[in-house]
């Protein structure tokens, strides 16, 4: 075989007689042919052991085997064929762990590089952690404080799982204490700063060492590798954050024009603790960088955090949006464009032209990636827009339905389902979408948050036993959520099929009590738009007799006692509540003044309802049966009929004047008689 490979030129002879391969592909093919002769599914165990025998005498062989075998195993994993091979390789490694440790510790340089390859992934990183004390610890004990250890520390911190990385940390701290001022310390600082599981004290050690290093090397281009993970950490104290930001801005003064500056700009722009001066400098540097690099795919790493910032003034925002649209003209169909599209569509300051272009870019992306898992990020924002024309809305809905056909059972499908329901006409949800909603709710509640989807489920008046149970569980676990009462008010109109049993009635009445508890804690906001009134008013029809009715009456009494109930600015169909309130007032528990006050509030509320036969009847009922009778004024006394005039009753005759003597009246008698008459 060696002669054949030499004759074909795949093996080459070095001046010292050592044979080398012309390309790693040669080694990979040879290794795979030994492990899986004739491409069998079952590996050749004896052949594998013979192939690995050189690892027991040479640290270089260990490193080369780790690299070549890793590529072969990863390729097999793509076809789901790596399991049997990995089992054979790991078994061999565990069996020879002590020997391997002894071989590797014989050389600080080659042994360190070999261990770095072993810790980088398949096939042996898991076995290395399991056999740490036999394989890795001996080398660390001999060489862990030397500069040469940086390769093992770098590879291990980058690739090992948390358990393995934690085994390296004691060596990391001692190595940094000795070498943190060296330029090569960046190879250890960068991966340790990337580790998310560091405890507070460990973070402080790593950040302190990084700041010491930056004080000496911030002007060098390689400082980008320390600045990036340092700025990406969200647990920096204010002093450390300020120093890191200052170092980044100092570095950008020299390297803004370079393509590598994007590696520093991304985490710098993502920070939320920049003061106004630092933010302005970072934003200016980003725009300067974009002037030269907008056309490259890597520009998305700067555009994404730049568009996410809320402190862009209008001219700066316009420049950022313009750069984004220019980038999308070239890259809208690429997979990574979704990150830029999401940030762009989330902005509320887009003018109509920019908004139209953003929507067009989203549709372009969806044409290529509708069926991918990550399409939900683009779909939910596109469907949430209120400015889609009918044709665009139809395309967005079609894309959402196509995506949901394959992905409606995904944990995060609720955002697409909710956004789709928002776009559909109320009450016009197709049967297949109803079934998708019910399936998702059954699979993922109560583990997944139901807040967003429940809003649109109720707007579309969707209900099933599965949805009903999920809504009640959501209510029990969101006692102070501002949407608690509105959600349950929407649910109240659909509960009749579920309260016919005692268990169902009990669960619903307990939920109404939770809403009243919420209202008593949070006050008037609990009845915005009359939602609490609507919720409680339905009890009058749902529970008319028995224990359920008595329980409902207790809820009604609590509602009546709230000064912000019976909101007169909002109408809900509530006429059945009037006679129930009347019955409560007659049932006792209220003194005369309370009855009068409650009745007056009830009348004011009902009087505000819009003109309708039933509403008019409700108001008339209050006036006739609930208000005290008005005092009736006494009837007016009848006016007696006018009397007819009657002749005067005869009185005594007037006294007679004595007649004068005859002699005296002569010459005047006639005249005297006339005067007397």
4-13, 371-380, 417-426: range with lowest mean pLDDT: 4-13
**How far, rounded to the nearest angstrom, does the alpha carbon of residue 298 sit from its chain's CA centroid?**
27
Of 269, 272, 203, the C-alpha closest to 240 is 203
Residue 672 has pLDDT above 60, yes or no: no
Confidence of residue 28 (pLDDT cuts 50, 70, 90): confident
Helices of type H across 79-184 = 83-95, 97-104, 108-118, 125-130, 132-135, 137-143, 150-159, 162-179
Looking at residue 4, its pLDDT comes to: 80
Task: Note the pLDDT of residue 636.
Answer: 62
Given this model, what pLDDT does residue 263 score?
97
The mean pLDDT of 467-489, rounded to a whole number, is 96
Q: Judge whether residue 663 has pLDDT over 70.
A: no
pLDDT at residue 23, as a whole number: 75
The dihedral of CA 520, 460, 543, 593: what is its sign?
Answer: positive
Mean pLDDT value across residues 468-480: 96
Binned at pLDDT 50, 70 and 90, residue 613 comes out as confident
- pLDDT at position 668 is 34
Report whether pLDDT(44) > 80: yes
pLDDT of residue 549: 93
Check residue 677 and give its pLDDT: 24
pLDDT of 378: 94
Q: Could you report the per-residue pLDDT of 280-339, keeping only the tens digit for each? A: 999 999 999 999 999 999 999 999 999 999 999 999 999 999 999 999 999 999 999 999
Residue scoring higher pLDDT (109 or 672): 109
Predicted local distance difference test score (pLDDT) of residue 643: 53
Residue 470 pLDDT: 96
pLDDT at 267 exceeding the cut of 90: yes
pLDDT for residue 414: 95
Residue scoring higher pLDDT (593 or 664): 593
pLDDT of residue 659: 40
* pLDDT at 560 exceeding the cut of 80: yes
Is the pLDDT at 173 greater than 70, yes or no? yes
Mean residue pLDDT of the chain comes to 90
Higher pLDDT, 178 or 576: 178
Helix (H, G, I), strand (E, B), or coil: what is residue 598?
A: helix
Angle, helix 576-586 to helix 546-561, in steps of 10 degrees:
90
Question: Residue 671's pLDDT band (boundaries 50, 70, 90)?
Answer: very low
DSSP symbol at 670: H
- Does 37 have pLDDT greater than 50? yes
pLDDT of residue 19: 78
Q: Which of 422, 418, 481, 482 is nearest to 444 (CA)?
A: 418
Q: For the whole model, what pTM was predicted? A: 0.77
- 3-state SS, residue 658: coil
Kindly report, residue by residue over 181-199, the tens digit of the pLDDT: 999 999 999 999 999 999 9
Look at residue 647 in the predicted model and tell me its pLDDT: 53
Confidence grade of residue 641 (pLDDT, cut at 50, 70, 90): low
Is the pLDDT at 373 greater than 60? The verdict is yes
DSSP annotation string for 13-60? E-TTS-EEESSHHHHHHHHHHHHSGGG-SS--HHHHHHHHGGGGT-HH
Q: Could you tell me what percent of the chain has a pLDDT over 70?
A: 92
Other Cβ atoms within 10 Å of 272 Cβ, number? 10
- Pick the closest to residue 566 from 540, 613, 594, 604 (CA basis): 604
Q: Which of 141-145, 429-433, 625-629 bottoms out in mean pLDDT, i.e. has the lowest?
A: 625-629
Tell me what pLDDT residue 427 has.
86
- Lowest mean per-residue pLDDT among 236-240, 467-471, 643-647, 652-656: 652-656
What confidence score (pLDDT) does residue 649 get?
53
């Amino acid at each position: 075989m060696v002669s054949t490979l030499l004759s074909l030129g795949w093996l080459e002879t070095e001046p010292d007689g050592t044979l080398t391969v012309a390309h790693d592909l040669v080694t990979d093919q040879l290794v795979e042919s030994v492990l899986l002769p004739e491409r069998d599914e079952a590996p050749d165990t004896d052949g594998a052991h013979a192939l690995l025998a050189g690892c027991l005498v040479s640290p270089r062989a260990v490193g080369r085997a780790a690299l070549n075998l890793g590529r072969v195993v990863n390729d097999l994993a793509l076809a789901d064929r790596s399991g049997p091979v990995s089992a054979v390789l790991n078994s061999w490694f565990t069996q020879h762990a002590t020997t391997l440790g002894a071989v590797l510790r014989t050389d600080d340089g080659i042994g360190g590089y070999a261990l770095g390859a072993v810790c980088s992934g398949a096939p042996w990183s898991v076995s290395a952690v399991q056999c740490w004390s036999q394989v890795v610890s001996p080398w660390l004990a001999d060489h862990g404080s030397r500069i040469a250890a940086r390769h093992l520390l770098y590879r291990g911190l980058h690739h090992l799982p948390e358990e393995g990385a934690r085994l390296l940390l004691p060596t990391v701290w001692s190595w940094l204490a000795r070498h943190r001022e060296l330029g090569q310390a960046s190879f250890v600082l960068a991966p340790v700063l990337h580790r998310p599981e560091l405890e507070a004290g460990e973070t402080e050690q790593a950040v302190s060492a990084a700041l010491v290093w930056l004080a000496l090397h911030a002007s060098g281009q390689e400082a980008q590798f320390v600045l990036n993970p340092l700025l990406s950490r969200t647990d920096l104290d204010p002093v450390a954050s300020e120093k890191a930001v200052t170092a980044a801005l100092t570095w950008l003064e020299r390297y803004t024009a370079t393509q590598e500056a994007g590696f520093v700009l991304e985490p710098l722009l993502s920070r939320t603790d920049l003061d106004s001066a630092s933010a302005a400098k970072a934003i200016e540097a980003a725009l300067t960088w974009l002037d030269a690099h907008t056309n490259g795919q890597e520009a998305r790493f700067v555009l994404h955090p730049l568009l996410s910032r809320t402190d862009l003034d209008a001219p700066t925002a316009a420049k950022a949006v313009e750069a984004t649209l220019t980038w999308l003209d070239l890259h809208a169909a690429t997979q990574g464009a979704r990150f830029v599209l999401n940030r762009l569509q989330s902005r509320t300051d887009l003018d109509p032209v920019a908004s139209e272009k953003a929507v067009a870019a989203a549709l372009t992306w969806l044409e290529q990636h509708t069926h991918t898992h990550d399409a939900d990020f683009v779909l939910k924002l596109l469907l949430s827009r209120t400015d889609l024309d009918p044709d665009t809305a139809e395309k967005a809905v079609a894309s959402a339905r196509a995506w949901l056909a394959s992905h409606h059972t995904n944990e995060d499908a609720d955002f697409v389902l909710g956004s789709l329901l928002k776009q559909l006409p109320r009450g016009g949800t197709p049967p297949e979408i109803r079934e998708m909603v019910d399936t998702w709710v059954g699979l993922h509640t109560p583990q997944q948050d139901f807040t967003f989807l429940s809003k649109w489920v109720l707007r579309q008046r969707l209900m099933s036993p599965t949805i009903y149970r999920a809504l009640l569980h959501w209510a029990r676990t969101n006692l102070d959520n501002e949407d608690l009462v509105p959600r349950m008010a929407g649910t109240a109109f659909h509960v009749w099929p579920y309260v016919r049993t005692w268990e169902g009635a009990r669960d619903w009445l307990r939920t109404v009590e939770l809403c009243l508890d919420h209202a008593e804690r949070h006050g008037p906001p609990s009845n915005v738009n009359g939602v609490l009134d609507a919720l409680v008013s339905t009890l009058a029809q749902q529970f008319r007799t028995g224990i359920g009715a008595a329980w409902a009456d207790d809820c009604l009494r609590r509602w009546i006692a709230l000064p912000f109930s019976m909101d007169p600015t909002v109408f809900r169909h509530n006429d059945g509540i009037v006679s129930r309130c009347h019955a409560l007032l007659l049932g006792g528990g209220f003194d005369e003044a309370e009855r009068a006050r409650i009745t007056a509030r009830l009348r004011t509320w009902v009087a505000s309802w819009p003109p309708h036969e039933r509403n008019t009847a409700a108001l008339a009922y209050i006036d006739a049966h609930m208000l005290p009778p008005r005092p009736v004024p006494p009837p007016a006394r009848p006016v007696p009929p006018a009397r007819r005039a009657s002749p005067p009753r005869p009185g005594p005759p007037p006294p007679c004047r004595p007649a004068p003597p005859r002699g005296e009246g002569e010459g005047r008698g006639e005249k005297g008689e006339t005067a007397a008459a």
